[in-house]
Structure 1
Amino acid sequence: MSLVPMRELLADAVKRGYAVGYFEAWDLYSLEAVKEAAEETDSPVILGFGGVTMNQEWLGNGGLRALAAMGHVIAENAKVPASYLLNEVLEFDHIEQGLEAGFNAVMFDTSHMPVLENIAWTRKVVDAASRLGADVEGESDPLPDASGTMGGHAGNKLTDPEEAAKYVAETGVCALSIAVGNEHIKTEGESSTDFELLGRIRDAVPVPLVIHGGTGFPDGDVRRAIELGVAKFNVGSVMKRLYLESARDTMLSLPTKPNFQELVGSRKPGDFLEIAKNRVKNEVKRRLAVYSSTGKA
């Protein structure tokens, strides 16, 4: 199936009352986990990679193009509607590389910039993306960072509806990431959602809303968030945690003389990477059900 524009996936989600999951991959196994979960649940999905936590020199020296080529094949061959997102990159050059390499949606991490600079750079990204028929997600304010590893900030800064409306109007983004209590990389506990603020943002902003920090967003808040305009959830940290836990469990249970050829990269049942992939896939399937996207493809 050909890639679907992200704006079309989100518009359908708004129309039919569900949210699309973006599950951030880091290699082929994790990308396949997301694709297979979506296919097995008949869910629209957004596949892709994130740039903010990766080695920037590696990305610029061919790593980004390699990820793009690998993922484009997986995304285009998905049996469900799928978009392919390059999420939160730090360099405009990486945006250009990603667009040229086949991502059909991008997000440039400009939220730490002063307002006018953020708007100007985001507009530049929108112009570059539109020339290739790609979509752009934006962020008017930085999302609090629970881990301190993403260049964000601690604290509880929330999205201002008026500033968000101005940002969307002046940039032309097709989706807006918002801060309503959610936090990046929140691996302990759950965030507390400000639904009153979410409703005011929904009334002020004419594009679908996005929740980053989906790992710590309470399952019980998802339905109400969807009703108040959220059409996309970003999930990443929980996938890596489960992947590592699975790998650790496998290593701790190895026999005295393991079959290394089967254990590493064989794609057979004993491949520890395949075992980890399946654990991630099960969590993605669970979250797709929470987002009410199962059966919506």
Structure 2
Amino acid sequence: MQKHIVVTGATGNIGSRLAHELLRRGHRVTAVARSAAHLEALRQAGAEVRPGQLSDVAFLSEVLRSADAAFLMLPPNVTAPDNLAYQDDLGQAVTEAVRAAGLPQAVNLSSIAADLPAGTGPIVGVHRQEQRLNAIEGLRVVHLRPAYFMENFLPNIGLILGMGINGSATRPEVAFPMIATQDIADRAAALLDGPELPAGHTAQLLLGPRNYSMQEATALLGAAVGRPELPYVPFSYEQARQGMVGAGLSESMADLYIEMTQTLNAEKAMVHEVRTPDNTTPTTLEQFAQQVFAPAYQAAAGAAQPVA
């Protein structure tokens, strides 16, 4: 049965793959993102495109009004002066639009550890958004709670090229679940393509194929780019904070990432989730390294070469 499905964040890693997959399955897709230019590929693929801001309640409620279901998310803004306030403001606007439109069903992008109300850095923002959506009477909502994105390694390409190391403030030996964003999109597509979502609000963990440590992940990424001896260097929290601010993140965002890392290093969250066949997804870090990381690395390395 064809459905009309709205995909927010449709130009991101998850939203773009999800929108294309829903089109492939024969659904009517409305793709929402800030940039009309970035939506062009989806328009050519057959989606209806609606450029606009999710913070615009009138715009989003009008887009959602005729939809059978929607994929909802809070696009990150790492430069926001107060990141949790940004998430709260945007989350409230999205919630108001969902309620005003009478949207019947939604798959909401949340995060592992979103069951915890504090101590998880930026994840606190999606915890609060889960609560807001859960309070909408009559909305069937499934919160996807994926693990650490493998794509989070992509910003480290500059560090690898520039200094010959991979590094972060995460302890090298702590193993935790990591997931490829394509597997998140595929789970969202399966939910939105299927029959009605469960009544009320439910959550689904997505834990990737297995747990990896930063030391192991660095070895796999290094092998994929021809640097099998690539070392992983643990940074102090202050070094990591300075690096993030230097890269353009707000002090608020950097502090939240440090809080999340401290919780991870203490193995208080994200490490001990129970793995089941349903929450285990297929794409391994080895596959990600070959299919996504290595091409991005090679492109960056080529761009860094001086022109003769």
Q: What range describes the TM-score normalised by the shorter chain of this pair?
A: 0.3 to 0.5
Which one has the largest radius of gyration?
2
> Under a length normalisation based on structure 1, what TM-score does the superposition of the two structures give?
0.34
Q: Which has the higher contact order (CA 8 A, sep 6+)?
A: 1
